[in-house]
Amino acid sequence: MKFCVFSSDPLYKYYEKGEIKERYWNPEGLFEEVCVFSFCDRDIEADKVQALVGSAKLEIIPIGYPAPHRLWGQYRQAARQMQAIGPAIVRVHNPWHAGLVGIAAARKYGIPTVLSLHTHYDARRRWEKRLLLQALRLFELYSVSRADVVLCVSHYLEGYARKMGARSIEVIYNRVYADQFHHNQQAAERRPIILSVGRLDPPKDQACLIRALAGLDAELLLVGDGENRAYLEGIVEELALVDRVHFVGSVAHAKIQDYYADADIFALATHYEGFGMPVLEAMAASLPVVVCPTEPLPEILGGQGLVVEHDPDAFHHAFAELLADRSRARALGRGARARAEALDGRLMEAREAELYLSLIKK
């Protein structure tokens, strides 16, 4: 069977960020050939990202960077190539350019479509007051209402999908394989480490965690990079925390488990999320997790962690309590690991493969 994917970003961006995940576009090796339509003029060599499709043949088809004046031509190009490929199913990775072009092309030939929904766009619009985001709502209405299935990565996103007219909704969490993660015991000769993983970009709020660290005998490790780095470094200097806040930069997915393994607490403060992959990774690593109430973080935790108000004082008190009561921290970590195992990537992979087969057989 053949599978077509319309990716949100060019594949070279996934490669540069180290986000190449095994079988991401070929759950359980279901497909023999995967064709990825990439919104750029020239993308990466297929062999560098082969892991995304497992043992399937991978073809990458660049169709130009997204822009309003290009969409009609991109649709026509995608439709022609899709007709030649003859895929059993099409997946699109956002309701904007990928959704508009991919779903329109697939509908022309009666090919079933799955739209991946990773963001609550109305929540994003409440946070980011940009005219472009308002205009893109028209794309969302088209894509969400015309996909055969909207695949939400959290239950939190279901309400948005229904509001946009989704005909059928499935919730399948992003895949985290628990056996990738383990947890080391704290080394006696060092300060405890509080870890946060995520882009240093809006809507993340690492500034909240930096301020929460003041007055604690602990270190904060920030994994990720982005436009807010200089701003965050300024806060660190202002609070005289240079020796206790460490910026690691981006880390490849294949190596990220080492940072969780050496941490003692995981924390995430953010203004909006669609899922929150690092939270589930931290849970798989048996870490006690502290998050703000931003949905769907409490949903992912499932009661196996601490949900505190989104302010530095609340995070500070939670950190202090866990550092003072190591038995409670370990108990939270065990509960988090058990929930992560119940949501293991193998289970999610099987559900995704089953979803594709159900659409293909109709």
Q: 211: closest CA among 128, 319, 283, 325?
A: 319
* 2-175+345-361 and 178-342 share one fold: yes
CA pair distance 167, 257, nearest whole angstrom: 38
Mean pLDDT of 296-313: 98
- Residues 112-123 have pLDDT tens digits of 999 999 999 999
User: Cβ of 148: how many Cβ atoms within 10 Å?
Assistant: 18
Q: What is the pLDDT of residue 69?
A: 94
E-assigned strands of the chain? 2-6, 33-38, 57-62, 89-92, 113-117, 149-152, 169-171, 193-197, 219-223, 245-249, 265-268, 289-291, 306-307
What is the widest separation between alpha-carbon atoms in the chain?
A: 64
CA pair distance 167, 184, nearest whole angstrom: 46
Weakest mean pLDDT among 46-60, 68-82, 171-185: 171-185
Q: What is the pLDDT of residue 362?
A: 74
Q: Chain-wide mean pLDDT for the chain?
A: 96
Q: What is the pLDDT of residue 189?
A: 79
Q: What is the pLDDT of residue 101?
A: 98
Domain 2-175+345-361: CATH superfamily, name plus number: Glycogen Phosphorylase B; (3.40.50.2000)
Question: What residues does each domain of the chain span?
Answer: 2-175+345-361, 178-342
CATH code assigned to 178-342: 3.40.50.2000
With pLDDT > 90 as the criterion, what percentage of the chain qualifies?
A: 95
Weakest mean pLDDT among 67-76, 124-133, 233-242, 267-276: 124-133
Q: 115: closest CA among 40, 51, 168?
A: 168
- Residues 55-96 have pLDDT tens digits of 999 999 999 999 999 999 999 999 999 999 999 999 999 999
pTM for this one? 0.95
Q: What is the pLDDT of residue 183?
A: 83
Which pair of tokens denotes residue 57?
């043949």
User: Cβ of 216: how many Cβ atoms within 10 Å?
Assistant: 17
- Quickly state the pLDDT bin for 187 (edges 50, 70, 90): low
CA pair distance 56, 35, nearest whole angstrom: 10
- Quickly state the pLDDT bin for 124 (edges 50, 70, 90): very high
- Quickly state the pLDDT bin for 190 (edges 50, 70, 90): confident
Q: What is the pLDDT of residue 26?
A: 98
Q: What is the pLDDT of residue 186?
A: 64
CA pair distance 286, 265, nearest whole angstrom: 9
With pLDDT > 70 as the criterion, what percentage of the chain qualifies?
A: 99
Has residue 4 got a pLDDT over 80?
A: yes
Mean pLDDT of 235-254: 96
Q: What is the pLDDT of residue 129?
A: 87
